Structure 1
Amino acid sequence: MISNDIALGIFFLSQTAFGALGNSFLLGLYIITLLTGSRIRPIDMVLFQLAFVNNLMLLSKGIPQTMAAFGLKNFLEDVGCKLVFYVHRVARCLSLSITCLLSTLQAIIITPRSSRWTQLKDKILKYIVAFSLSWWTFHLLANLLILIYIKGPKRSKNITEIKNFIYCSDSFHGSPNIALYVFIISLPDVVCVGIMVWTSGYIVLILYRHHKRIQYIRGQNLMSTGSPEDKATQTVLLLVSMFVSFYSLNSVLAASIHFWEQTSWLIHTSVFLAACFPSCSPFVLIISDSQVLKYYLALRRKMGKDKTPILKQY
């Protein structure tokens, strides 16, 4: 009979490999599409970054967690623990910020022409680059404190000032500045989640009004087949809903780990929830975003392996 540790190791390994495969497929597809001279949508620049940071999240946390579940609990020293936790934290913050940017961008794209937001459509590319650089710089600098407080497993002499994360530990517990640090780090997260909820509601309202108008003009039959823009918008809504759900649950567990009772199952559950969005989101895009299929078919045609007509770009 398989022990619980081995079963956990197999589970985390499968989740990490599954998600890394999907994100790597998207990354390769976008890179090859660019290298072959094909045009991509402005929103694909955001999706490319999302796939990249999702891969960082999965690999930086999934691989150590898998090794720890298989019984290798002292394979990282201080430097390794600092690097793993820093990369994961930065990637997690960037995943939140990029998903927020994605929902905002989609809200601007589908906004009616009469709205004041239409003036932003012509400057979308410039804003994407500016916001992306700002978020990367901010999170790389804001999380530097992790390099100070994260330690190797059980390195602290005072056990009351240490929190053990199976293969690493931290000494945030007992620090007089921990409350201020958590507030500063959490504030951008709260703002981003609020923006995502607001833009998602705005998108749903726009889609509802659009469908009601189409139904009135052309009748009920058109409602069964949505336009490519509607499908892309629904994909973004699904991604945002997934992220907010998993992020909220994981944040509650993360707070419990840092401030209250700490158990192994709580740590494992938190890691599982943190990996759900990065492991599932690429397949949501592959299945529901018709533009991803278009890029794939276009590459196959250029390689002479497929004669299927390319889908109409939107």
Structure 2
Amino acid sequence: MLSLKTVYFIQAGIGILANAFFLIFHIFTIYPVHRLRPTDITTCHLAVVHIVMLLTTLDVVSEDMFKLLNFPNELKCKLLFYFSRVTRGLSISTTCLLSIIQVITISPSSFCLSRFKHKLTSYIIIAFFCLWSLNMSANCYMTIYTVAHSNRSNLLNINRYCSLSSMNSIIMALVLTLELSQCGLFVGMMLLSSMYMVIFLCRHQRKSEYLHSMSMSPRISPVKRATCTVLLLVSFFVVMYCVDIIISSFSTTLWRYEPLILDIQRLVGNVYATVSPVVLISSDKRLIDLVHNVIAMITILK
């Protein structure tokens, strides 16, 4: 029977390979031939974030990497946990940005956000800068409270090398308020954008049924396919995020080292980073066509 740790390494390995595959195909195959769409730029950014997130939560890989740099244990723990928190924040904020971009893309000219449609690529770069600045500054406090393992009793283990020291009740309340406000804002915007996309898909379905009744061949448009993909990603993220919050709250309430809870939380926290590139690859017709062409060329060469 596979242990949770083995399952975790398999999950992280699949996630890193899938995200790297998605990113490499976009950079070296699609970009030279086609102009990258705003959603392509955002999903590539999401893939980079997920690769870093999965690497920083791989204890063995991270330990070997920092041994080569000869970093002290204390600094290693601070950097590992800090970048892990930053990338998790970027995962939720980039997914939120992706849903908003898709809403702008499919919106009619009368929609209030449609004025951003023509300069969307320029605004995306600004949005990336804002998201990185927000998440890096919001998690700075972790560099103060993250420490290497010691014999102190008031520590909460976050992995097998690092611990989180206890906070003042006022500071903890302030941190939790800021985190919940930030997460609530992003999740709220994702839910609103999801509602808009559902309305769009319903209208598109009625239009398709009308065309079908007029004996016209119904086909799934690229816009509808992209909208369904983004809606699926957002829905899956919200579900996994809620499960992660429940497990995290239970772990924080116990305030003691529970390896099983930490392993389960790590598995749940990385599910979205592993599944999202698979969904994006399987729904991107350009990627599927390229893979088919590569397979055809290999078959011919044989």
TM tier, smaller: 0.7 to 0.9
- Corresponding position: 1:243 with 2:247: no
Worse overlay, 275-284 or 185-194: 185-194
Query: Which amino acid in the other structure matches residue 227 of structure 1?
Result: S
Match of residue 119 from structure 1: 115
Task: Give, in whole Å, the separation in 1 of the partners of 2:10 and 2:91.
Answer: 21
Give 1:290 shift. Answer: 1.5
Task: Give, in whole Å, the separation in 1 of the partners of 2:259 and 2:216.
Answer: 52
Task: Work out whether residues 103 and 196 of structure 1, in 8 Å CA contact, stay in contact via their aligned partners in 2.
Answer: yes
Task: Work out whether residues 152 and 169 of structure 1, in 8 Å CA contact, stay in contact via their aligned partners in 2.
Answer: yes
For 2:106, which of 97, 102, 110 is the aligned residue? 110
Worse overlay, 217-226 or 132-141: 217-226
For 1:12, which of 4, 8, 11 is the aligned residue? 8
Task: Give, in whole Å, the separation in 2 of the partners of 1:180 and 1:226.
Answer: 48
Query: Which amino acid in the other structure matches residue 12 of structure 1?
Result: Y
Give 1:66 shift. Answer: 10
Query: Which amino acid in the other structure matches residue 123 of structure 1?
Result: K
Query: Helix, strand or coil for the counterpart of 2:180?
Result: helix
Query: Which amino acid in the other structure matches residue 226 of structure 1?
Result: I
Task: Give, in whole Å, the separation in 2 of the partners of 1:81 and 1:255.
Answer: 22
- Corresponding position: 1:100 with 2:96: yes
Match of residue 77 from structure 1: 73
Give 1:175 shift. Answer: 5.0
Deviations 1:202-224 (A, max 9, x none): 10001101221232244287796
Deviations 1:171-205 (A, max 9, x none): 13455411101211331111000000110011000
Task: Give, in whole Å, the separation in 1 of the partners of 2:197 and 2:274.
Answer: 25
Task: Give, in whole Å, the separation in 1 of the partners of 2:284 and 2:274.
Answer: 17
Deviations 1:10-30 (A, max 9, x none): 211101111100001011112
Task: Give, in whole Å, the separation in 2 of the partners of 1:31 and 1:272.
Answer: 29
Task: Give, in whole Å, the separation in 2 of the partners of 1:140 and 1:106.
Answer: 26
Deviations 1:222-272 (A, max 9, x none): 796411111111011111111111111101211221233642221111111
Task: Give, in whole Å, the separation in 1 of the partners of 2:264 and 2:211.
Answer: 50
Task: Give, in whole Å, the separation in 1 of the partners of 2:217 and 2:246.
Answer: 40
Change (3 A) 1:297 1:126: farther
> What does 1:1-314 correspond to in 2, within 5 Å?
7-33=3-29, 36=32, 38-64=34-60, 77-153=73-149, 155=150, 157=152, 159=153, 161-167=154-160, 168-219=162-213, 225-260=219-254, 262=256, 263-294=258-289, 305=297
> What number of residue pairs does the alignment pair up?
291
Give 1:143 shift. Answer: 0.8
Query: Which amino acid in the other structure matches residue 112 of structure 1?
Result: P
Query: Helix, strand or coil for the counterpart of 2:3?
Result: helix
Task: Give, in whole Å, the separation in 1 of the partners of 2:62 and 2:75.
Answer: 19
Task: Give, in whole Å, the separation in 1 of the partners of 2:125 and 2:299.
Answer: 36
Gaps of 5+ in 2: 64-71
Worse overlay, 92-101 or 58-67: 58-67
Query: Which amino acid in the other structure matches residue 54 of structure 2?
Result: L
Query: Which amino acid in the other structure matches residue 49 of structure 2?
Result: V
Give 1:65 shift. Answer: 9.6
Change (3 A) 1:145 1:18: same
Task: Work out whether residues 81 and 150 of structure 1, in 8 Å CA contact, stay in contact via their aligned partners in 2.
Answer: yes
Task: Give, in whole Å, the separation in 1 of the partners of 2:131 and 2:167.
Answer: 28
Gaps of 5+ in 1: 68-75, 309-314
Worse overlay, 215-224 or 266-275: 215-224
Change (3 A) 1:81 1:221: farther
Task: Give, in whole Å, the separation in 2 of the partners of 1:144 and 1:156.
Answer: 25
Query: Which amino acid in the other structure matches residue 194 of structure 2?
Result: S
Task: Give, in whole Å, the separation in 2 of the partners of 1:42 and 1:269.
Answer: 35
